[in-house]
Chains A and B, each alone.
Chain A
Amino acid sequence: MLRDLFSKKKKYATIPSEEAKQEVPEGLMTKCPECKSIMYTKELKKNLSVCDSCGFHHRLTAHDRMETLFDSGTFTEFDQNIIATDPLEFPSYKEKSEKDREKTGLNEAIVTGKGEIDGYPAVAGVMDARFRMGSMGSVVGEKIARAIERAIDEDLPFILFAASGGARMQEGVFSLMQMAKTSTALHKLRDRGGLFISVMTHPTTGGVSASFASLGDINLAEPKALIGFAGRRIIEQTIRQELPEDFQTAEFLLKHGQLDRVVERKNLRSTLKTILSIHAPVSDRKSDEQEQEEQQQEKEKNAVRETEEQEVQ
């Protein structure tokens, strides 16, 4: 059902950076911003949008992330129809939000919902950096708070994929207070013994990094993701010295003890599955035998699918 939904939508994940757009036929090919090598967009997507040559993790749209993450057909979206107001009557905020809605097909910078990862159910939120740079305004805060409430009510783990430049300037202190709002919601989840896994993707900075994204029971990040509180330029201006090359990367944070693991995208699903299985209630936990059986079935299914695809081609 979900796949049907996707197929109707344009897939913007295929559009790379501005400069690359000019040189590469739009949609068909995608240029890696890191190593400049060019891949068929279709191949890139198959590879979870990770560059074949250098391992660069391209940004994923929220829906593409959901698709790579959840067992097919298991995801149901929450609160899809909440949209931002313009509480400060901030210059051109309404127009810009409207443009982003058209551009992304999303109503806000986050998609929340419920799905299963290898049969383990979880509530999840996935931010989408294409919408107002993934910034957190009142709607993002509200949707996260509601998703956490669902996780509490249904006794499910909560997973959040951050991709955000921080708090949304156009909603002023309302945005700032979303840091407190999401954190108080997470406190409630923690109080009830709920599991929260934070996955930081490129970029996770400012008010998002300094609130829910850093508060996982387990904090994961994708390779090379930019993660930090203050912007690089602001730091350079303040201290008047150049910053180390790897500054504020996932690897930098791991080295400084701020992360549990850096996980390549191709291993993310299995890592999450392991975490979920270890935290699952005893009754829902699968035995190793069951696991092996399911894996075998999955392999067989994939083999069938591949043969079918080849036949079609």
Chain B
Amino acid sequence: MAEDLPFEKPITELRTKIAELKAFTAEKEIDLSGEIEKLESRLEQLEEDIYGNMGPWDRVQIARHNSRPTTLDYIERLFTDFLELHGDRLYGDDEAIVGGIAKYKDRPVTVIGHQRGKGTKENLRRNFGMPHPEGYRKALRLMKQAEKFNRPIINFIDTKGAYPGISAEERGQSEAIARNLIEMAGLTVPVVCIVIGEGGSGGALALGVGDKILMLENSTYSVISPEGAAALLWKDAGQAKRAAETMKITAPDLKELELIDGIIPEVRGGAHRDVEQQAKAIDEALSQALDELSEISRDTIVEKRFEKFNRIGPYDYVNGTNAGN
């Protein structure tokens, strides 16, 4: 059983109680099935109440869950013949981003994503999914390759952010991210971006200039982490919960603001509770997104992508006047 989160405590307690009763029944050969049934229906109700009313901070906890499925978990289940390709040809191979070629329902695709590790050892190797410039440059190399061979690109977004370190700055973290933004703007193949965990700022967006931007129900996308925002706003990183509620970083909030194209429903309690089931939900959304995009010609897809991003961002005019000049 995956590690439970604080807000799930009432559910966990009730589950434990039911399990105990069942064990007791088996051991003592007493029939408590009526009692158990009652508790089970109460559990059902409780789950609905809690999981059906999750606040932003609860979703942040799920998005960051240790056992939350990663890019490779989904690649393994959604694609066939995945062949990982390494390196940016300039400096090195950044394992905080994985990418390669594969087939999706018999169609060739390029698939890329941030990759967190499972456990300390792998996390160190993958730098906790926080890329250096070479990670973004590898991703770009693979995206240009996809364009050359006319295959769609699927990007999984799952990072706290681009790595803040000396060597990252020396090698041009800013330039690497910026380069991806402008080059992705010009890709003549469909790009589908799926936020599966945390979408942390520019480091997430560097894989995010797509034609369809989808988010798992409990994933987040933000310009700054709730902790960072709390530190700036109230000089107290401990107020992260409050910041998360203020900042509109959850999938439902971002859908309402029309900043993303769709929400992929999650398994009750979060994707980590059933990765097979979750992969199926992603499969459905991805297949639909690719179908829709396949109707757009190579000539117009760039213009459409430009329009999509050019629309983003509300503004007003002073005293209702019109723009001068």
Q: Which residues of A contact B (CB under 8 A)?
A: 76-85, 87-88, 90-91, 107, 113, 137-139, 141-142, 145-146, 167-169, 171-181, 183-188, 190-191, 206-207, 209-215, 227-231, 234-235, 238-239, 243-244, 247-248, 256-258
CB distance from B132 to the nearest CB of A (A): 11
Q: Kindly state whether residue B149 has any CB partner on chain A within 8 Å.
A: no
Q: Which residues of B pack against A, CB within 8 Å?
A: 162-166, 168-175, 177-179, 181-183, 185-186, 201-202, 205-206, 208-209, 221-224, 229, 232-233, 246-249, 254, 257, 259, 302, 305-306, 309-310, 312-319, 321-325
Q: Is the CB of A172 within 8 A of B313?
A: no
**A138 with B164, Cβ < 8 A, contacts A175-B223, A229-B177, A258-B172 known:** no
* 8 Å CB contact of B223 from A77, A78, A173: A173
Q: Do A214 and B209 form a contact, CB below 8 Å, given A76-B325, A91-B233, A207-B201? A: no
CA distance A80 to B317 in the complex (A): 9
Q: Tell whether A81 pairs with B317 under 8 Å between CB atoms, given A188-B306, A256-B170.
A: yes
Given known contacts A91-B233, A177-B259, is B313 in contact with A210 (CB within 8 Å)? no
Are B182's CB and A181's CB within 8 A?
Answer: no
Please report the C-alpha to C-alpha distance between residue A141 and residue B181 in the assembled complex, in whole angstroms: 14
- Per the bound structure, the CA–CA distance linking A168 and B247 in Å amounts to 12
Residues of A within 8 A of B249 (CB): 172-173
Q: Which residues of B contact A91 (CB under 8 A)?
A: 233, 246
- Beyond A81-B321, A83-B316, A172-B247, is A184–B185 a contact (Cβ under 8 Å)? yes
Interface pair B257/A87, CB less than 8 Å apart: yes
The contact of A173 among B165, B222, B323, by CB within 8 Å, is B222
Contacts of B178 in A (CB 8 A): 179, 183, 209-215
The answer on a CB contact under 8 Å between A230 and B168 is yes
Which of chain A's residues has its CB closest to B187's CB? A187
Chain B residues positioned under 8 Å from A90 (CB to CB)? 246-247
Residues in chain B near residue A212, CB distance under 8 A: 178
Give 7 A-B contacts (CB < 8 Å), ordered by A residue.
Answer: A167-B201, A172-B247, A176-B202, A177-B309, A187-B302, A212-B178, A243-B166
B315→A139 contact, CB < 8 A: yes
Q: A2 to nearest B CB, angstroms?
A: 14
A228, B169: Cβ atoms closer than 8 Å: yes
- Other than the given A81-B318, A209-B174, A229-B168, 19 more pairs (CB < 8 A) read A85-B315, A87-B314, A167-B224, A169-B233, A173-B259, A174-B314, A176-B221, A177-B312, A179-B205, A183-B181, A186-B182, A187-B302, A191-B186, A207-B202, A209-B178, A210-B162, A211-B177, A214-B175, A234-B164
Q: Which residues of B have CB within 8 Å of A78?
A: 323-325
Question: In the assembled complex, how far is the CB of residue B191 from the closest CB belonging to chain A, in whole angstroms?
Answer: 12
Q: How far is the CB of A181 from chain B (nearest CB, A)?
A: 5
Count A-B contacts at CB 8 Å: 212
Contact between B164 and A181, CB atoms less than 8 A apart: no
Chain B nearest CB, measured from A284 CB (Å): 22
CB neighbours of B309 from chain A (8 A): 177, 180-181, 184
The CA-CA distance from A191 to B321 in the complex, in Å, is: 33
- A183 touching B185 by the CB < 8 A rule? yes
Residues of B within 8 A of A257 (CB): 172
A145 touches B310 (CB 8 A): yes
| Residue in B171, B179, B201, B319 whose Cβ sees the most chain A Cβ within 10 Å | B201
B165-A256 in contact (CB<8A): no
Q: Cα distance A138–B325 when bound, in Å?
A: 20
A182 to B, closest residue via Cβ: B181
Q: Which residue of A lies closest to B322 (CB)?
A: A81
Smallest distance from the beta carbon of B243 to chain A beta carbons, Å? 9
Contacts of A142 on B, CB cut-off 8 Å?
313, 315
B248 touches A172 (CB 8 A): yes
Complex CA distance for A186 and B183, rounded to whole angstroms: 10
| Bound Cα distance A227, B223 (Å) | 19
Pick the contact of A141: B175, B221, B232, B313 (CB < 8 A): B313
| Chain B residues within 8 Å of A175, by CB | 223
Cα of A42 to Cα of B163 in the assembled complex, Å: 44
CB contacts (< 8 Å) of A173 on chain B: these are 221-223, 248-249, 254, 257, 259
A167 to B312, CA, bound (A): 14
A230 to B28, CA, bound (A): 63
CA A172 to CA B322, docked complex, whole Å: 26
A286 CA to B310 CA, complexed, in Å = 36
Assuming the contacts A184-B209, A229-B177, asked whether A174 and B310 have C-beta atoms less than 8 A apart, the reply is no
- The answer to whether residues A88 and B247 also contact, given A184-B209, A215-B182 and a CB cut-off of 8 A, is yes
B313-A79 in contact (CB<8A): no
Inter-chain contacts of A146 with B (CB < 8 A): 323
Which residue of A has the minimal Cβ distance to B181? A183
